Amino acid sequence: MDTPKRTWTKAILWQVMGLITMMGVGYFFTGSAMVGGAMALVNTLIGLTAYILFERVWNKINWGRIPFERQD
């Protein structure tokens, strides 16, 4: 199970990559850095929230996990 700190770190790094990508896509389609940046920022905030909720819910589900066995 991931700690909340690890979940947040993964989410933020993933969203930074998405923000940069979406800024490029938004600029490509609109020709405006301001509109492209605004689109990317909104998308990032929505995506970050959804990712955090998704990860925390899945951390509570044991289905498909292989139990950890200690090798002493």
Structural domain boundaries in the chain: 4-59
**pLDDT the model gives residue 58:** 87
CA 11/CA 14 separation, integer angstroms: 5
Give per-10-residue mean pLDDT for the chain (72 aa).
Answer: 83 88 92 92 89 88 80 72
| Cα–Cα dist 72/63, whole Å | 26
